[in-house]
Structure 1
């Protein structure tokens, strides 16, 4: 598990991580990169990333960027330690667990993608004494919180990094009440994974806003894309311009407000779905939710909410949720259409697939 990553960091071979289901495909792809005909010599790993465009771009990460990220993470968390690998290694979050393990000279304990509670408890109990960490997505944390033994096991760790998108407020509150040491991370493949922890950038990472969009700089940046795009978010040397909107307070703490292309223009005003989702998540009957815009002949777009109901509560009404949101945000942000769904579509390691949801509910 660690050998290919170790070879990549040492410059012996470039790595293109792919799902392990097809071993033949993995061999062919890594062989192509070893030939050195399509990437620079200092590129250690090419991580496939499509964002919301659907077209794989391939973030080219050097050994220096991956190592800088791992070392900065350990400094922020209080020192090197052993990691639990609970995410696929072909995603940047799982890959970085392997890089951090190599940097710390430790062997990670791995569990499979089912995230079975008994397996999680057994894996954590097998970890060696000392500092112990893991990296999860919110859906995994939510699943663990449903099992007392799994909850206690996670609470015994020094840090549980949570990335892969926003975490519902109900999950965060339950984790805090259980004593799980959660740290929320923000980053992407282009920044060698999470580079902002609980709103504060890691050592060396720079954050600024460009017309409200988050721009990230520093030693963890990728060199660019293997398959260039236009406009190029790496166009300004030393910076990566994300598609996320953010806010910085007076002390430099970053708040991620949502994606530029998710913004809803309704009645001449702009509504950010993430803020509405945070408001909806604070309702006791809402277990999970997503907000998006649909065409409206009068408003341009109307705010629509898809809600997973929290047992044992009855399904909330549209009027109830509108009042709940309007009490926390401008009334313009209150949803005008409600869909009760069994589950929200996810992609990758748990990110909401807003496009798939819109396609499903558009009619």
Structure 2
């Protein structure tokens, strides 16, 4: 079967996607526009290449069956209707928005150009007055909530959706509470490109998705799993494993546990620094920091430290931080982290930047942020 690269806009992806869903046409090569056409396994619908937040590129092979299984499971959980595409079409979350809408019989409404609360509100009005759905990343939801405080149109748009899926990274508890108070129906999703996007909603797996935790690492199984990584059999065998009964599992690399049937993620297993001889999960630090007023959009990265070996640094855009001194916000964050995770986990510094480096997917570009902070404080 042939794989042909395609651009990342909805106008470029949608016509090709229709053909793929109908069982005809070449597979979509997303995120690999400079690559030449090639061959992929029969049944492949898309190969999505993304560098991710760590900068390591991976080309994930997704079958038509896996994508449709994911779409069906989502419809069974939250219903179906018309969808607004507010995410890049070249990433799995955006691709799934289009598939869900097409399978429900509607062309997705596309939010054109740069995301803004006003554009979101205007695009919402273009959706048929039936069941409405959309997917966002946390930073988009936070911007909408900020605007909704003074803009009735944005506030009404937030309330217009039967469900707003929010994924891509952990949603701060304070942002979730604000959304709930604003009348938005939020569904927190967990998953990755390797699982055709979100496959766990509000901690509960979708139909036929199974969760296991092995040695503290979350593993997922079910019909939504990717076939593997294009051209990288070694990585495929390392990430997609079979147990003694032959069941195939995806090793997420996330630390977590299942508590009374609900999955709780603690952070990335490998996003750990050793500070003063103590292992510290940057994801857990960031989760606490995000609940500090003014730091909901902050990112926590690890950098070399002359005294402790490594230390964590809070990075936040000036427009997102409250109008208080950096030292006050840092002390509040250190106190919050110390109370929850202990004194060794307290961040060493807070850095204000004009804007955070972001990936096209809407996630923070953590590697670029880390490099910038490390260079800023290099002796």
What TM-score do you get using the length of structure 2 for normalisation? 0.85
RMSD of equivalent CA atoms: 2.2
Deviations 1:240-288 (A, max 9, x none): 1122222221x22112222222112223322211221222222224242
Mapped pair 1:241 → 2:251 = yes
> Where does residue 315 of structure 1 map in the other structure?
326
Mapped pair 1:180 → 2:180 = no
* Cα distance change on mapping 1:225 and 1:331 into 2, 3 Å: same
Q: CA deviation at 1:320?
A: 3.7
Q: CA deviation at 1:121?
A: 1.8
Mapped pair 1:354 → 2:366 = yes
Q: CA deviation at 1:17?
A: 4.3
CA distance in 2 between partners of 1:258 and 1:200 (Å):
17
Instruction: Choose the corresponding residue for 1:197, options 196, 201, 206.
Output: 201
* Cα distance change on mapping 1:56 and 1:274 into 2, 3 Å: closer
CA distance in 2 between partners of 1:14 and 1:54 (Å):
28
- DSSP 3-state at the match of 2:311: strand
Mapped pair 1:128 → 2:138 = no
Judge conservation of contact 1:60–1:226 (CA < 8 Å) in 2.
yes
Judge conservation of contact 2:54–2:365 (CA < 8 Å) in 1.
no
- DSSP 3-state at the match of 1:295: strand
- DSSP 3-state at the match of 2:165: strand
Deviations 1:22-62 (A, max 9, x none): 9xx58x85xx25xxxx2111111111133355343321111
Instruction: Choose the corresponding residue for 2:314, options 305, 311, 317.
Output: 305
CA distance in 2 between partners of 1:122 and 1:303 (Å):
40
**Ranges of 4+ aligned residues in structure 1 off by more than 6 Å:** none
- DSSP 3-state at the match of 2:228: coil
CA distance in 2 between partners of 1:109 and 1:181 (Å):
19
In structure 2, runs of 5+ residues without a counterpart are 1-10
Q: CA deviation at 1:199?
A: 1.0
- Taking the TM superposition and a 5 Å limit, the aligned residue runs for 1:248-263 are 248-249=258-259, 251-263=260-272
> Where does residue 227 of structure 1 map in the other structure?
231
Mapped pair 1:209 → 2:221 = no
CA distance in 2 between partners of 1:144 and 1:274 (Å):
24
CA distance in 1 between partners of 2:86 and 2:373 (Å):
32
Mapped pair 1:157 → 2:157 = no
Judge conservation of contact 1:17–1:89 (CA < 8 Å) in 2.
no
Figure out how many residues of one structure are paired with residues of the other and give that number. 350
CA distance in 2 between partners of 1:186 and 1:108 (Å):
23
Q: CA deviation at 1:170?
A: 3.4
Judge conservation of contact 1:86–1:113 (CA < 8 Å) in 2.
no
Judge conservation of contact 2:60–2:229 (CA < 8 Å) in 1.
yes
What TM-score do you get using the length of structure 1 for normalisation? 0.89
Judge conservation of contact 2:82–2:108 (CA < 8 Å) in 1.
yes
Instruction: Choose the corresponding residue for 1:10, options 22, 39, 48.
Output: 22
Q: CA deviation at 1:16?
A: 2.4
> Where does residue 8 of structure 2 map in the other structure?
none
Judge conservation of contact 1:15–1:45 (CA < 8 Å) in 2.
yes
* Cα distance change on mapping 1:131 and 1:59 into 2, 3 Å: same
* Cα distance change on mapping 1:284 and 1:193 into 2, 3 Å: same
Instruction: Choose the corresponding residue for 2:274, options 262, 265, 268.
Output: 265
